[in-house]
Chain A
Amino acid sequence: MQQDSDNIPKPVTDDATPSLYKTPEFSDIASSVTSDPGSGSGKKVLCIEDEAFIGDLYKHALQKAGYEADIINDGKAGLERALSGDYDIILLDIVIPQLLGIDVLHELRKNPDLKSKIIIATNLEQDDETRAAVEKEADAYIIKAEITPSQLVEFLKNF
């Protein structure tokens, strides 16, 4: 059932959520080509991503920009690692083995002490209601196919 209030395209002026989908800075980010080495300044990123090539690309781009990056390729192990609290940013795919990204997100949000920023990075097309719900729960939501690794790195500067 569609909740009407979720569908109202009303002007949004105060937009505190640093979501890639919503922020006007999206296109600025998208125009960047090279990432700035050192912008990560040692921040730790956990990438829960089952597609090895994508994991490899992200790891490469993040490390080049000065981040520390770990790649985990299933939801269950990813959740355990994320709960360690070692990471500043968690990049979370939705369609992953063992435990879906959405469930990982729910579990992580049960821990108010966890300070990591959680960014959903998926290629799954969801209806607006579902997406809005996930966007609300996560810190940001991006479609992987729409940005390149260096644009992702540029986006992570916001966190």
Chain B
Amino acid sequence: MSGGHLDSFKKTFSLYLVFGLIITGALASGTAYILLANTVLDREIVIVIVTSVVIIASVIVGNVLAALLIKPTQYLAQAIYHISPNEHLVAAPNVDKLGVGRELVANLTRQIYDLSSNLSSANIPMVKDQNSDLLDSLPVSVLGLNDQGNIAFANTAAISAFSLGTWKDVPLTNLLNMKSNSIALPDWIAQTKQKSINATTQWQKVEVSSNDGTVKSYYDVAAHYRQKHPSGIETLLVFFSHYDQYDQEETALSMIALSVHEIRTPLTIMRGYVEALQQEMAGKVDSQTQTYIDRLGASTDNLTTFMTNILSVLKVDQNQLNLQLQESSWEEHITSIVANSQNRASVRGKTISLSVAPNLPKVGIDNISLGEVITNLIDNAIKYSPDDKKPIRIEVKLDTDGAVLTTVSDDGVGIPDSVVPNLFNRFYRNHRNRHHISGSGLGLYLCKEIISAHHGNIWVKSKEGEGTTIGFTLMPFSQLDEADKSGASNGFTPVAHGWIKNHSMQRR
């Protein structure tokens, strides 16, 4: 295998050499040609100048080639120093940074580490009988995975906690489903494999459930990875049960969901009667009464949006905000959302202008969630531009990278610089700024999560006293479709901010 890498390194190096010689030759002939054609210099002087050029060019090319040649050796030396017991302060080389000979050095480095690992652990295999006994007596669950991600070891606690029947050499993902808010285990292993020989990480509040539906609980999980460990166990997982603590949190969340149900019922009634009043009283009441009714309507709409925000944030937190990405005309969708928001704007003396560039591609969006994003951005613009009568401007156009860009701008109070970095965080994180910025602080957090799950970006541009523009991008459906196809390989997909099983690579 390394023979192939060596050949390829030789070829690459020869190419550089030939390229260097050609450049030197070309410089020499070019200089000679220019001097002879355009000057009246003596032949001797021309020869001296050309020779100097050749010497300078050769020195430069020689130095570059020497650097290319010496670099792999430096990396290999660093790898050896790294594993040397006397030199353990030397960091492992980052082979990714190497230009020429990367494969060769990566391969040799791995072999160096393998040799070292074999030597140091030749006499102490990981899961010998006494160690296995030791692990079996632990009250925490321990699983060992081989280099294929199949279970190679499970201690007694794990077998019992996860009701493992046949587990030996079965892929972990066939038996257990693990949901967390950060990178999924298989992705972490895959990334670690590329970069490191040893690595450790941990996840908090991982929902672990068995695929047959019999077990569901919450754990903090620690993982240790050792590439090609002689015991055959490449990844060691330790599960610390935190069921009581996390279950209480879940119960609290259920309580909120229940409260939302109770609030929604009177809200439904209020919205219904406000609408009935608007319809029945139209033209029969004086304009002031009509204004009151409209304000009542706008306020119940705001309350509805707030309730939706609370629930969506809860779903984000529980990794349950799952999106149905459909091929949609963004122009049609945003036009109707803006139409719905006009009453809320008009009761505050505002108008909304919408301008959409022609011939935009269809986008892949979850209509309900994107409705929440636009409604929140419009509500913010209304809230933060109380004194001016200029319209809130919404523009939709094609971004330079082919995404569909939507911006919502107001000429309102703007946002203090100190607040901007925290703007997309949840409310409790920037509660000190409540006096500057009113509102729950849930809206923009939710917008960010929803746009991220659509593989888009969201940003803010604001100047205090001059106004704010918030923009976000949406990917054309055609690109999204391709991402879905190519990402299906390792089986994970984005929910709002977490990962759940099914495809990957398309979160950002």
Q: Which residues of A contact B (CB under 8 A)?
A: 1-2, 4-5, 7-13, 15, 21-22, 24, 26-28, 30-31, 33-34, 51, 53-54, 57-58, 60-61, 95, 123-125, 127-128, 143-146, 148-150
Q: A9-B453, A145-B271 are in contact. Are A123 and B211 (CB under 8 A)?
A: no
B503 near A: Cβ within 8 Å?
Answer: yes
Closest approach, in angstroms, between the C-beta of B212 and any C-beta of chain A? 7
* Contact status B481-A11, CB under 8 Å: yes
Question: Within 8 Å CB of B275, what residues of A?
Answer: 33, 148-150
| CB closest residue in chain B, given A10 | B484
Q: A158–B267 Cα gap in the complex (Å)?
A: 25
* Contact status A7-B311, CB under 8 Å: no
Question: Within 8 Å CB of A10, what residues of B?
Answer: 324-325, 484, 493
Give the residue of B264, B272, B322, B371 whose beta carbon is less than 8 angstroms from that of A53.
B272
Give the residue of B265, B311, B340 whose beta carbon is less than 8 angstroms from that of A54.
B265
* Contact status B324-A27, CB under 8 Å: no
Given contacts A11-B327, A24-B367, A143-B264, 8 further A-B pairs with CB under 8 A are: A2-B500, A4-B500, A7-B495, A11-B325, A11-B326, A123-B268, A127-B320, A145-B265
Q: A76–B481 Cα gap in the complex (Å)?
A: 46
- 7 CB < 8 A contacts A-B: A4-B501, A7-B493, A13-B326, A15-B326, A24-B328, A58-B272, A145-B267
| CB closest residue in chain B, given A132 | B322
Give the residue of A9, A54, A60, A150 whose beta carbon is less than 8 angstroms from that of B268.
A54
* Contact status A31-B339, CB under 8 Å: yes
* Contact status B212-A60, CB under 8 Å: no
Q: A9-B322, A9-B324, A11-B326 are in contact. Are A124 and B179 (CB under 8 A)?
A: no
Give the residue of B279, B308, B494 whose beta carbon is less than 8 angstroms from that of A9.
B494
Q: A1-B210, A4-B502 are in contact. Are A11 and B269 (CB under 8 A)?
A: no
* Contact status A1-B212, CB under 8 Å: yes
The number of chain B residues with a CB under 8 A from chain A is 60
CB proximity to A under 8 Å, residues B282-331: 304, 307-308, 311, 315, 320, 322-328
Q: A131–B305 Cα gap in the complex (Å)?
A: 20
Q: How many A-B residue pairs have CB under 8 A?
A: 134
> Which 4 interchain pairs have the tightest Cβ spacing?
A1-B213, A123-B264, A57-B272, A145-B264
Q: Which residues of B contact A (CB under 8 A)?
A: 177, 179, 209-214, 216, 257, 260-261, 264-265, 267-269, 271-273, 275-276, 278-279, 304, 307-308, 311, 315, 320, 322-328, 332-333, 336-337, 339-340, 364, 366-368, 371, 453, 477, 480-481, 484, 493-495, 500-503
Q: A8–B212 Cα gap in the complex (Å)?
A: 18
* Contact status B265-A8, CB under 8 Å: no
Question: Within 8 Å CB of A11, what residues of B?
Answer: 325-327, 364, 477, 480-481, 484
Q: A12–B366 Cα gap in the complex (Å)?
A: 10
Q: A146–B368 Cα gap in the complex (Å)?
A: 11
Give the residue of B209, B257, B267 whose beta carbon is less than 8 angstroms from that of A1.
B209
* Contact status B328-A128, CB under 8 Å: no
Give the residue of A4, A9, A13 whose beta carbon is less than 8 angstroms from that of B366.
A9
Closest approach, in angstroms, between the C-beta of B186 and any C-beta of chain A? 13
Give the residue of B177, B269, B477 whose beta carbon is less than 8 angstroms from that of A51.
B269
Question: Within 8 Å CB of A21, what residues of B?
Answer: 368
Closest approach, in angstroms, between the C-beta of A85 and any C-beta of chain B? 29
Give the residue of A22, A54, A95, A124 whose beta carbon is less than 8 angstroms from that of B272.
A54
Q: A1–B284 Cα gap in the complex (Å)?
A: 56
Q: A14–B397 Cα gap in the complex (Å)?
A: 27
| CB closest residue in chain B, given A22 | B324
* Contact status B261-A26, CB under 8 Å: no
* Contact status B367-A26, CB under 8 Å: yes
| CB closest residue in chain B, given A150 | B275
Q: A11-B481, A53-B272 are in contact. Are A27 and B264 (CB under 8 A)?
A: no
Closest approach, in angstroms, between the C-beta of A7 and any C-beta of chain B? 5
Q: A109–B3 Cα gap in the complex (Å)?
A: 68
| CB closest residue in chain A, given B496 | A9
| CB closest residue in chain B, given A144 | B268
Q: A143–B267 Cα gap in the complex (Å)?
A: 11
* Contact status B210-A27, CB under 8 Å: no
Question: Within 8 Å CB of B261, what residues of A?
Answer: 95, 123-125
Q: A87–B119 Cα gap in the complex (Å)?
A: 80
* Contact status A8-B502, CB under 8 Å: yes
Most buried by B among A11, A15, A28, A145: A145
| CB closest residue in chain B, given A94 | B261
Question: Within 8 Å CB of B307, what residues of A?
Answer: 145
* Contact status A12-B326, CB under 8 Å: yes
* Contact status A57-B273, CB under 8 Å: yes
Q: A34–B371 Cα gap in the complex (Å)?
A: 21
Question: Within 8 Å CB of B480, what residues of A?
Answer: 11
* Contact status A1-B211, CB under 8 Å: yes
Q: A58–B278 Cα gap in the complex (Å)?
A: 16
* Contact status B322-A128, CB under 8 Å: yes
Question: Within 8 Å CB of B494, what residues of A?
Answer: 9
* Contact status A2-B495, CB under 8 Å: no
* Contact status B276-A60, CB under 8 Å: yes
Give the residue of A15, A34, A54, A145 whose beta carbon is less than 8 angstroms from that of B279.
A34
Q: A145–B308 Cα gap in the complex (Å)?
A: 10
Give the residue of B272, B273, B502 whose beta carbon is less than 8 angstroms from that of A7.
B502
Q: A81–B477 Cα gap in the complex (Å)?
A: 45
Question: Within 8 Å CB of B213, what residues of A?
Answer: 1
* Contact status B326-A30, CB under 8 Å: no
